[in-house]
Amino acid sequence: MKKHRLPKMCPTRFVERHTTLERFVEQLPAVVEVLRHSETWTDPATSTKAGLLLNGLLKSEVMVGLFVLLKASCILLPPSRALQEKGADLVAAVQLLDRVLEELGRLRQDNAEFSRIFLEAEDAMMAAVGTKIRRPRVSKEKKNAHRASASTSTSATGESNDSPEEYFRVNLFAPALDHLLVDIKARFGEQQRKAMTLTNLVSSRVLNASWGDVQPAWRKYGHLVPVTERQAEAELVVWRGMCSRMPPEERPWTAIESLRRCPCDAFPATSRLLMILATLPVSTAEAERMFSKLDRTLSATRSTMTESRLEALVLMQAFRGELPAAAEVVNRLLKLPGKRCA
């Protein structure tokens, strides 16, 4: 087991949250040991808080939910990294999210995968307290309001005979993934779906696209295009034929590369729509980075700087690759009138 400090849960970046969750699962035995030791302290506030945290952590539903969350977090990690990249492309992001939705849907139906997750949770439970995962007790009043049981078999006392694994698969694993699928789809609502239809203009996808596939985006952005809808539809036919003559391995699959291959004089509508597609922000990561740089630059000790200086410092931080070398700056200053070498 690697020795790491437990980082705080980041309120904004999902990638950092995944790291926190992964570290917490790795250090789970140590966390349980520390909480047990803290229960013996003489400080009543500390010992009480440690006991509450320990009792909540060692519940079967919490332990299983922790490993289900870790599995879902691992699947969401690649698109989270891709959405935070500089210059992320909407086409690539949509394709990656489609694969993630497919994988989550497959995981939702894969009982064998949940069996492996449940076994990991049970091993962690055994290592922590030496007991197996158990089904929580449900009062008779809550049975009718509870989620449908995995089976209808009951014992002589009226309790369900479902195994703990089957119980948590139906009442925890499936609802968690259903909620996650609904939440991801809800983030791409009607307006987002209209904008995504612009991806049909990309060279690698236009061969199987018709004007009806692009029309929702035209209704949203058509007022920005200097041609009529009839002309734009005709352009699509010619653009599709032009792309069909490209070798399959040379057809661009990003908006920027397709825009470079599309002459704006011959295809004014198609090039303008591809330009809109290439400039659509995939996420708010770029804006959040600029705000973070602004917060670090405009500190308490720099509160009196002018706006032009603040803007210059932020741009220097955002575009470090464009900065000249230090020797070049020095040589330029030395060439100014009145400057002499020491």
Q: ∠ CA 168-171-176 to the nearest 5 degrees?
A: 95
pLDDT at 129: 74
Percentage of the residues of the chain whose pLDDT score is greater than 70? 85
Q: Is the pLDDT of residue 114 over 90?
A: yes
pLDDT, residue 283, reads: 66
Tell me what percent of the residues of the chain surpass a pLDDT of 90: 21
pLDDT, tens digit (0-9, with 9 covering 90-100), for 196-211: 788 888 888 888 888 9
* pLDDT for position 2: 56
Type of residue found at 15: V
Residue-wise pLDDT tens digits, 136-189 = 876 655 555 444 444 444 444 444 557 889 999 999 999 999 999 988 887 766
Residue 282 in contact with residue 89, Cβ under 8 Å? yes
The per-residue pLDDT for 16 is 79
Report pLDDT for 153. 45
Reference 65, options 21, 27, 29; nearest CA is: 21
Predicted local distance difference test score (pLDDT) of residue 177? 93
Amino acid letter at 246?
A: M
CA atoms within 13 A on the CB side of 105: 9
Q: What's the pLDDT at 287? A: 66
d(CA 114, CA 172): 11
Tens digit of each residue's pLDDT (9 = 90 or more) over 80-111: 887 777 656 666 777 788 888 899 999 999 99
Token pair, residue 16, equals 């950092």
**3-class secondary-structure state, position 153:** coil
* Each residue's pLDDT tens digit, 293-334: 787 888 877 778 888 888 888 888 877 778 888 888 888 888
71 CB-side CA count, 13 A: 24
The whole-number pLDDT of residue 336 equals 79
- The b/e string for 278-298 (b: 16+ C-beta within 10 A; e otherwise) is bebebbebeeeeeeebeeebe
- Average pLDDT along the chain: 82
The enclosing H or E element of 211 equals helix 211-221
Distance CA 333, CA 330 (A): 5
Say how far residue 342 (Cα) sits from the centre of its chain.
54
> Taking 70 as the threshold, does the pLDDT of residue 339 lie above it?
no
pLDDT of residue 154: 47
